[in-house]
Chain A
Amino acid sequence: MIMVRRRARPAKEPALMVVTSNGVDANSDATLALPFNGEPISAVAATATNNLLDDQYFASPKRKDCRLMKTHENLNAAEDSQCHSKDNNNKANGNSTKSETGRTIGVQLATRSQTRTIENFFKANAAAKSQQISTILSDTVIATTTTAEQKTITISGALDDELEEEESLLYDAHSIASPSTSTSSPSYPNDDLETDNSSELGSNYTSIDTATHIQVDIHTQTDPHIDTSTNTAAFQTHRSTLRDSHSSSHSSSSSSAATSDNIFLQEPVLTLDIDRTPTKASSIRINKSFELASAVFSSPPSVLSACVLNGRFNQIVTLNGHGQGEEQEHEQEQHQLQQPLSGFELDQNDSSSCDSGVACCLTAGTSPAVAGNRRRKPATPHRILCPSPIKTMPRDTVLLKGDALSPRKSPRKLQMQLAASNACKSRRRLNQPKPQAPYQQPSPAPSEDVVLVDDGEDDDDDVHALLKAAEERENMNKAKAMPKPATVAAAAVKPKASTKPAKARTMAAKSQPLAATNGNRELTEFFPVRRSVRKTKTAVKEEMMRNLEQAVLEERCEGLQVRHFMGKGRGVVAVRRFKRNEFVVEYVGDLIAISEATERERRYALDENAGCYMYYFKHKNQQYCIDATIDTGKLGRLINHSRNGNLMTKVVVIKQRPHLVLLAKDDIEPGEELTYDYGDRSKESLLHHPWLAF
């Protein structure tokens, strides 16, 4: 059922989601009647659910597998909450709540992918130290299992839930691989990794897979109650096997993990390991915390049960709850009810967080003094203000760095911050910008302020929703592109964290410059870039000759016009501007040898109207003649004589044949008649053609 709903809902409309989640919470306690009951227990449960919702919410909506997981988690969480608050009596109620949560979760779950990547990140960080991805993953898995086991120690119900969550996680990966979830986006590197891990785990996993598949099927059937029951049953059945598998498979890889199946034995070992090597410990812890965080998110009651990690996340969760409250503020009806609720939640969370902090320390095997140290920190996260996600994100990374470096900050705090940052990141995806900044703020700020700020920022959320969706998409792509977490070096953590904000910034920055130069063309479009193109004389000559050849071959004669001149007959006039040395026209005619020319001349002499179109010239010591007496319609032969002509003749050899071309002796303006010197000065010619004298 949940699955279906999620798919049906594209994971948007956060405010709505929140509302529904709240309603769900209330429902869990009061069975759907009143969405905003004032009952404290219900409120707590509601906060837990809300937190869950928020987390999912913040997670990127892209991944369906994640959604699946979330749904399971939600179910688990619901169960947890019920177990804690009402001793599992109201199974039916729990189911109903689950179904509702599932709805809401569906939306929020979408964002989960990013949280995931962050997880992997931290894993990668640890991996960098241990140099093996698989081992790291296994460690983390173990850690989660161990934590789950711890919980079981404290609360059996909680343990069940957590295990189930784990299963759901694994199941997630499987689902990705499995065809049933084929609808999900094509590349999920992280998920793949997880699947690998699962394969390592072996038979247990396969069984889980099958179970998950079944569950998926069930989910698709869309009956919430049935689904939940079946799911829980399946999970529980597989739980033990899973646990065994984890312990056995990872015992070899991780020294900390105990070979025995006994959960109790494993816990202390893990903690010891953490303590011994601070760096590794921190990384591992982070992983743990993160995984736990995810688990915690899913199971609110466990949080209440004062698990350390849970406590940490509770803080975050409470913040989430604030965010939700703010969102609800959008909806005015709920607004009033919601605020008191959130405040109450805050208080609860604070106390729980403190307690949890101690508890977690204890579970980790640390001394009570350490626990005491930790105590003061948990309160801080509540006061986190979030100006805007984009701004805060970079700071987060810086802060994280600083925390790691600064000695006075306890490791736990660092963890918290890391977790917070993770949460922030996930939240960011969820279109909720606010929470990020606050978490990072190390100094405790008054909670009231937080609320106020959040109120102010609510608008931003809506405004940024679209932007964030785009961003999410980008992130998705990034996640795809990103190598598997194991390969990612520890150093990569910071870059990645920073890249997201940077991207956001660049987006903003881009828009600005675009606006500035928008639609502006560049000057280089108008003005050619000058390159020094000096040519040698010969190069220039060659180029000119080439041009001439081409002109001749094309029989170019544009820009010329035939006109009649009084007393002269036809002449040629330029209709365009010719530059100096520019090709104007070719003197086209029959190229004949000198003997042939004399022969023809004799013939033409008989004809009075023949005119003189014989052009004699010498080329390479050989006399040629071009006879253009026959009217071919070519313009070259019609150009008149002038002793001060504006054209000059030039011989161009093309394919071993000399051609006579007429070039502009000077710049020629349009309208000028084209003339050249025929060069005939003989007396006889002058006698017959007196105009030759001009």
Chain B
Amino acid sequence: MFEARLGQATTLKKILDAIKDLLNEGTFDCSDSGIQLQAMDNSHVSLVSLTLRSDGFDKFRCDRNLSMGMNLGSMAKILKCANNEDNVTMKAQDNADTVTIMFESANQEKVSDYEMKLMNLDQEHLGIPETEYSCVVRMPAMEFARICRDLAQFSESVVICCTKEGVKFSASGDVGTANIKLAQTGSVDKEEEAVTIDMQEPVTLTFACRYLNAFTKATPLSTQVQLSMCADVPLVVEYAIKDLGHIRYYLAPKIEDNET
């Protein structure tokens, strides 16, 4: 028996919004420690790793490890039926082929439950090695979303160059070139607006805008985003989900060729 209850449906909504653009379906692996989802997009260029710790839920019970393959589009549809303030409860029996999602309004006056069929997904699971990244940039999530959106107009790929002074995003295309430099903020008034760079050695990597823009769908989840980079290693874009876990996007770097 699996049961997980979240105080606010809006969190789950945002999570679904953050992943449904990249993934059509995904497997939620539920265990005693929480819920995890890891899936690559169709092109196998990016990977989404979602971790929701069990202690972040209002109530969490998972007697046996359970893998729930879900159509994320359908899941998002169901979650649209919930009010933001509703309680959400996900329930599934062991070896069930359906999952029940229940929304309860705050005063318990309205209870709606939806049952969704589960899928048996044969997805590859990637073992992500622990990596020490040579550059870790933390910046406001909104800022990152803005940068990705702006640069996407110029080129389909973005070059992220991280040095001691700051991090530079640049794109060049037919229209012209665009460069956005962010310097490390000296004095931090508000923590969520800080740009911090933790750099061992400078890194320059090229990534596809399209995916970065898909990642920024997670912006509502967090005020800050963390970009971890290392030469010839996938970029990690991490959004923390407050008190619950995090969502990490991995994006393989582009093969850099200067011919174009």
Contact = CB atoms under 8 A, between A and B. Distances in A.
A530 B49 CA distance: 14
A527 interface: yes
A522 interface: yes
Interface stretch (B81-89, B125-133, B240-248): B125-133
Contacts of B175: none
Given A516-B156, A517-B45, A527 B254 contact: no
Interface string A507-536: 000000001111111111111111000000
Contacts of A516: 43, 156, 208, 210
Given A525-B252, A526-B252, A527-B234, A520 B45 contact: yes
B141 interface: no
A244 B40 CA distance: 71
Given A515-B156, A516-B208, A522 B45 contact: yes
Contacts of A520: 43, 45, 208, 252, 254-255
Contacts of B190: none
B129 A521 contact: no
Nearest to B208: A520
B227 to A, nearest CB: 16
Contacts of A526: 233-234, 250, 252
Contacts of B126: 523-524, 527-530
Given A517-B45, A523-B44, A523-B250, A529 B210 contact: no
Given A527-B234, A529-B125, A522 B43 contact: yes
B257 interface: yes
A528 B253 CA distance: 16
Nearest to B253: A521
Interface residues on B, range: 20 to 34
Interface in B221-260: 233-234, 250-257
Nearest to A527: B126
Interface in A659-673: none
B45 A519 contact: no
B210 A527 contact: no
Nearest to A522: B44
Contacts of B255: 519-521
Given A520-B252, A521-B255, A522-B252, A527 B129 contact: yes
Interface residues of A, number: 16
Contacts of B27: none
Contacts of A521: 45, 252-255
Given A524-B44, A526-B234, A527-B234, A519 B257 contact: yes
B238 to A, nearest CB: 16
Given A519-B254, A521-B252, A521-B253, A527 B45 contact: no
Contacts of A530: 124-127
B216 to A, nearest CB: 17
A521 B128 CA distance: 16
A521 B253 CA distance: 6
A530 B39 CA distance: 12
Given A517-B208, A528-B127, A529-B126, A523 B157 contact: no
Contacts of A528: 126-127
B157 A519 contact: yes
B46 interface: yes
B157 to A, nearest CB: 7
Contacts of A517: 43, 45, 208
B47 interface: yes
Contacts of B256: 519
A516 B46 CA distance: 13
A515 B208 CA distance: 10
A518 to B, nearest CB: 8
Interface string B137-164: 0000000000000000000110000000
Nearest to A516: B210
Interface string B43-59: 11111000000000000
Interface in A253-275: none
Contacts of A525: 252
B46 A523 contact: yes
Nearest to A526: B234
Contacts of B156: 515-516, 518
A81 B255 CA distance: 62
A450 B210 CA distance: 40
Nearest to B206: A519
Contacts of B251: 523
Contacts of B157: 519
Interface in A485-524: 515-524
Interface string B93-116: 000000000000000000000000
Given A520-B45, A522-B43, A527 B257 contact: no
B180 to A, nearest CB: 22
Contacts of B206: 519
A523 B254 contact: no
Which among B46, B124, B257 has the greatest number of chain A C-beta atoms within 10 A?
B124
A322 to B, nearest CB: 34
A524 B124 CA distance: 9
Which among A515, A516, A520, A526 has the greatest number of chain B C-beta atoms within 10 A?
A520
A658 B125 CA distance: 42
A516 B210 CA distance: 8
Contacts of A519: 157, 206, 254-257
19 contacts: A517-B45, A517-B208, A518-B254, A519-B254, A520-B45, A520-B208, A521-B45, A523-B46, A523-B250, A524-B44, A524-B124, A525-B252, A526-B233, A526-B234, A526-B250, A526-B252, A527-B127, A527-B129, A527-B250
8 pairs of A and B residues whose beta carbons are closest in the complex: A527-B126, A522-B44, A521-B252, A530-B125, A530-B127, A519-B254, A519-B255, A529-B124
Given A523-B45, A527-B234, A530-B125, 10 more contacts: A519-B255, A520-B45, A520-B252, A521-B253, A521-B254, A523-B251, A526-B233, A526-B252, A529-B124, A529-B125
Interface of A: 515-530
